[in-house]
Amino acid sequence: MEKYIYNEQNGLWYELQGDYYLPCLKLPEEGEVHIGIWGQRHRRYLKNHHRVRYINLLTSGKLKDYLADLNEQAEAMFSRLVKQLSEKEGVMEGLKAENQMLWVQRMNNVRSAAMEIVSSELIYC
């Protein structure tokens, strides 16, 4: 039996492995893309709760670009929300100079609120 055969009907090459011919498939080459914490959380969510969508993105070679884009959107939304919420709550530099611990407490609350909003709007939907 030949090691490789070509099927003219579907245009695929097949490789002999044991007693079976399996198609020679290769995922498309992907460039280096940075996926941050938001993208990693969304990937985990897709993998556990939306497996078909995850597999479709993975096999089409679009998963890393999709996650990198979502990560950028989440970072921008998080920064914008922290700025808006800190202005709304009155957490300014003057407070930082007067009472550092109170400023840290309020900023932690603002960041937690912003994280919850980003998570519910972009990551876990």
Domain boundaries, the chain: 1-30, 31-123
What is d(CA 86, CA 90) in angstroms, rounded to the nearest whole number?
Answer: 6
Predicted local confidence at residue 56, as pLDDT: 95
Report mean pLDDT in 10-residue bins for the chain, 125 residues.
90 92 78 89 97 94 93 97 94 90 96 97 92
Predicted local confidence at residue 98, as pLDDT: 92
C-alpha 117 chain-centroid distance:
16
Instruction: State the sign of the Cα–Cα–Cα–Cα dihedral 65, 70, 75, 79.
Output: positive
What is d(CA 41, CA 30) in angstroms, rounded to the nearest whole number?
Answer: 21
Predicted local confidence at residue 43, as pLDDT: 97
